[in-house]
Structure 1
Amino acid sequence: MKDSIRHLIQQALDRLTAEGVLPAGLTPVIQVENTKDKSHGDFASNIAMMLAKPAGMKPRDLAERLIAALPADEQLTKVEIAGPGFLNFFQNSDALAQRLEAALADAKLGVRKNGPAQRVVVDLSAPNLAKEMHVGHLRSTIIGDGVARVLDFLGDTVIRQNHVGDWGTQFGMLLAYMQENPAAAESELADLEGFYRAAKKRFDDSPEFADRARELVVQLQAGDAECLRLWHRFNDISLSHCQALYDRLGVKLSMADVKGESAYNDDLPQVVADLAAKGLLTEDNGAKCVFMDEFKNAEGNPLPLIVQKAGGGYLYATTDLAATRYRAGVLKADRVLYFVDQRQALHFQMVFACARLAGFVPSSMEMEHMGFGTMNGPDGRPFKTRDGGTVKLVQLLDEAEQRAYSL
């Protein structure tokens, strides 16, 4: 309603300017506020007092001219002058009631989408597996679910994609830890978070362990049977934890929506080969990279988008590039929304630019990073699972319920 009143006032100002009452070139910020006393109307504006001096008029006199110039509107019953020159607007309750009744009688509540319906892929939640979800996963899950529901309501075909982290260096680290301590690993798997931190500590403390972990990543990506067996076990346990939380949160995510990094593994060599065929690859210290003119560091040097490490392993960029062309070619998406925190803004800018440069997606397909802030610890920095101070999401929900029931 405030916007409607601002529009009415602007029309009155335009009319008075055309009549010579107000000087040309005025661009006031039209303020409309709720009244404190409803006997003085529902909304008030001080526009007459703001423009009285340039108009060379008393505020109340200008207020009278403004009222006379206001277009008629069925949403208002009357407009009065109050005090030194306030305009008080009285809302038409009957008209408001009719609008509400019409909205309630409409399955879409009177809301319509601008433009045609689209096929929209919503990339949301995306926790790393082999460890439990923590508070940092809440925003991507809830914000992404909320937007997906709105798009559903507006008539878009929404395809939810839970791009879980079920591939890469972390799994080589976990496999190496299990191979090193099979008996301990059996008991520790009940606490995925503790298991992950123990493996990460070994990875950080032992260069030999880290080298073995990296070798196992390559073996896993190459389809080694034993690595795959252990990998499936980690994933099954972690995904069951995730699904229990999704069900508890009431978000529209199921196992059918999981399309993790591993799903694109077979396409990763082809992604690199296609980039090479397009003449986009440059070797830098043994790694295969894409350099794009629009991305430079503070010194003005080009930033690399690394798609294959010197040891042969692939990275998030490679998987994300494979995902873009799957979503374009298989899912036939018109639009893709990525709900990932703001720290990944540059990564997605580079991936989107590379995908377009390589022809992985059509020019018509929209790709948008829907960034948001991070959940930080007492030191003001984002939580890190490896440090052990992260609040598990299940613990947060338990405490929230306990506090709610205790009130």
Structure 2
Amino acid sequence: MSTVVVAATSLVEDELSAAMARVLPPEQAGRDPLLRPSEQADFQSGAAFALAKLAGVAPRELAERLAGEIGAGLTAAASGPGFVNVTVADEWLWQQVATRLAAPRLGVGEPLAGQRVVVDYSGPNIAKELHVGHLRSTVIGDALARILGHLGAEVLRQNHLGDWGTQFGMLIQYLDEHPGEEWRDIALLDVLYKAAQQAFAADPAFAERSRRRVVALQAGDEGTLAVWRELVAISEQAFQRVYDRMGLLLTGADADPESAFNDQLDAVVAEFEAAGLAVESEGALCVFAEGVAAPLIVRKRNGGYGYPATDLATIRHRLQTLKADRILYVVDARQALHFTLVFDAAHRIGWLADPGAATHVPFGLVLGPGGTPFKTRSGDSVRLADLLDAAEEAVRAVLTEKPHELDDGQYAEVVGAAAVGAVKYADLANARTKNYVFDLDRMVSLSGDTAVYLQYAHARLRTLLAKAGPDQGDPDPSQPSHPAERALVLRLDAFDAVLREAAGTLEPHRLCGYLYGLAKAFTDFYGSCPVLKAPTPGLRANRLALCRLTAETLAAGLGLLGIAAPERM
């Protein structure tokens, strides 16, 4: 367990709660102190307005009583018609900077320790290239896996690959009938997959041969299986190249393919039949959820199985074999009904004791400049590799305006980090459930709410600290604080709280907003407070410590979004 540093917000809330307990009748104690940041002080409480009538006094009088009870190195005063303004002592602020710098993990706690969380994300289909439709699941899922893991959870990443079903009989049959076609490359496979789909739709005889090939695949025909295994291997290697380029946590060890559950589907469906939860409807076997007209079709009319049966087998595996306390499915919002039905079925069969332990984490669409789904001119989905190439070109165009002392290798590394960061941040900075427009020019801007802006802020701090030299001194708590220093310290102090908020809501954009606000607070501080030429040694040491903590917090926060923080740019 790490050392948890008590934040200023917690300190003030605890002191206000204690003051309320001393001033109010016992039955009124324990109320929310209604604390918020303030321009008049560090914090402001509006609790007196909510409690004055219960206490039998005017809000202003209650505020004065509360202010008079507050100590612990805090300065408090009643303000206006009934607010309590609270200011933290300068000495406490500088000690807080020193404490966070010295603490492991910047003093961030591990409130999720002991939880085992499965995060299901990315989930591409074999024989098809990763494209923009996979972006949000992959980027959001990876950020959540990092944040939850940082807060102490044991995170099991699961990449539910689509590697089984009719489409593979179709593709293998097409390859068998076109022996002259070269296919051992993911880009070629993607083209041939589309050709096979067209043949399947246009030629009933080919469709029938494809169905027989599916039967052969499911029956374990070795020749068919050999081709299928090669398709899977080629696809997984191609996926991993993109994952590595994007700096994702996903590896081959996280693969959770549909085929792994193929031999469990009969038993899963039999369990629902035995429990009386699966009933026949129009020739198919279905599980109905209360109040939902659409059924979960666990076995088709022809006796085959589809996604519902596989997803039921998967959730059973995650709960019973992986012993997950919680499962997050990072899948687009259009699958909401499907997951509602799967979770309901898993709960009623008794696998999912707590319905809230399985959560669909939906997200909106990536749109093109015109506000329509993001496609190529030919109408195809944009490949992720092409998207990253375009981001690198855009970053180079922006960085050419900036002087640097990097060699070619270092420059290429920075360009790659900035391009990947730009794409990820643009996605993560938007509220998860909303659509957003993919705008490269805005994404790579050196100003505004972008990853490149944050990366530059971090690199600027590292350069400043390098100029200061190794002997930077220890923070001096006796020094006064400038308003810009105070604002930056309090912003830094909220890092732990914002991570808990992002984890609790499953919304990485909250961390993005925090980091952007931190970078702006640093810019205000740097413009108001000389660092290397501070007027006294004590102030210089304090401001350098503040710079170090800001750099470390920016790097840590970007890292939890899966974004690199280069030392130089």
TM over 0.5: yes
> What letter corresponds to residue 72 of structure 1 in structure 2?
I
Contact 1:334/1:364 (<8 A) preserved = no
Give percent identity, aligned residues only. 44
2:344 is matched with 353
> What letter corresponds to residue 352 of structure 1 in structure 2?
F
Q: Choose the corresponding residue for 1:240, options 237, 255, 277.
A: 237
1:334 is matched with 325
CA-CA distance at 1:133 after TM superposition: 0.7
Q: Structure 1 residues 88, 362: CA separation in 2 closer, same or farther (over 3 Å shift)?
A: closer
CA-CA distance at 1:314 after TM superposition: 1.2
Matched pairs, number: 386
Alignment of 1:144-159 (within 5 A): 144-159=141-156
Contact 2:329/2:361 (<8 A) preserved = yes
TM-score (norm 2): 0.58
1:266 and 2:257 aligned: no
Give the secondary-structure state (helix, strand or coil) at the position aligned to 2:288.
Answer: strand
Q: Structure 1 residues 285, 185: CA separation in 2 closer, same or farther (over 3 Å shift)?
A: farther
2:382 is matched with 391
Q: Structure 1 residues 210, 4: CA separation in 2 closer, same or farther (over 3 Å shift)?
A: farther
CA-CA distance at 1:73 after TM superposition: 4.8
Q: Choose the corresponding residue for 1:72, options 52, 70, 73.
A: 70
Alignment of 1:97-246 (within 5 A): 97-114=94-111, 117-184=114-181, 186=183, 190-246=187-243
CA-CA distance at 1:360 after TM superposition: 4.0
Question: C-alpha separation between the residues in 1 aligned to 2:329 and 2:392?
Answer: 30
Q: Structure 1 residues 46, 193: CA separation in 2 closer, same or farther (over 3 Å shift)?
A: same
Question: C-alpha separation between the residues in 1 aligned to 2:99 and 2:394?
Answer: 40
Question: C-alpha separation between the residues in 1 aligned to 2:71 and 2:397?
Answer: 50
CA-CA distance at 1:258 after TM superposition: 0.7
Q: Choose the corresponding residue for 2:282, options 275, 285, 288.
A: 285
Contact 2:296/2:308 (<8 A) preserved = yes
Superposition RMSD in Å: 4.0
CA-CA distance at 1:404 after TM superposition: 1.9
1:296 is matched with 292
Question: C-alpha separation between the residues in 2 aligned to 1:280 and 1:227?
Answer: 36
Question: C-alpha separation between the residues in 2 aligned to 1:73 and 1:396?
Answer: 56
CA-CA distance at 1:211 after TM superposition: 4.0
Task: Identify the structure with the greater strand proportion.
Answer: 1
CA-CA distance at 1:47 after TM superposition: 9.3
TM-score (norm 1): 0.78
Contact 1:33/1:44 (<8 A) preserved = yes
1:311 and 2:302 aligned: yes
CA-CA distance at 1:6 after TM superposition: 8.0
Give the secondary-structure state (helix, strand or coil) at the position aligned to 2:128.
Answer: coil
Structure 2 gaps of 5+ residues are 1-7, 399-569
Task: Identify the structure with the greater helix proportion.
Answer: 2
1:21 is matched with none
**Greater CA drift, 256-265 or 40-49:** 40-49
2:558 is matched with none
> What letter corresponds to residue 222 of structure 1 in structure 2?
A
**Greater CA drift, 97-106 or 185-194:** 185-194
Q: Deviations over 1:89-111 (max 9, x none)?
A: 54433323323433343325433
Question: C-alpha separation between the residues in 2 aligned to 1:355 and 1:48?
Answer: 47
> What letter corresponds to residue 305 of structure 1 in structure 2?
L
> What letter corresponds to residue 133 of structure 1 in structure 2?
L
CA-CA distance at 1:288 after TM superposition: 2.1
Question: C-alpha separation between the residues in 2 aligned to 1:342 and 1:131?
Answer: 22
Q: Structure 1 residues 85, 336: CA separation in 2 closer, same or farther (over 3 Å shift)?
A: closer
Contact 1:31/1:46 (<8 A) preserved = yes
Question: C-alpha separation between the residues in 2 aligned to 1:381 and 1:261?
Answer: 31
> What letter corresponds to residue 406 of structure 1 in structure 2?
A
Give the secondary-structure state (helix, strand or coil) at the position aligned to 2:324.
Answer: coil
Q: Structure 1 residues 312, 364: CA separation in 2 closer, same or farther (over 3 Å shift)?
A: closer
Give the secondary-structure state (helix, strand or coil) at the position aligned to 1:296.
Answer: coil
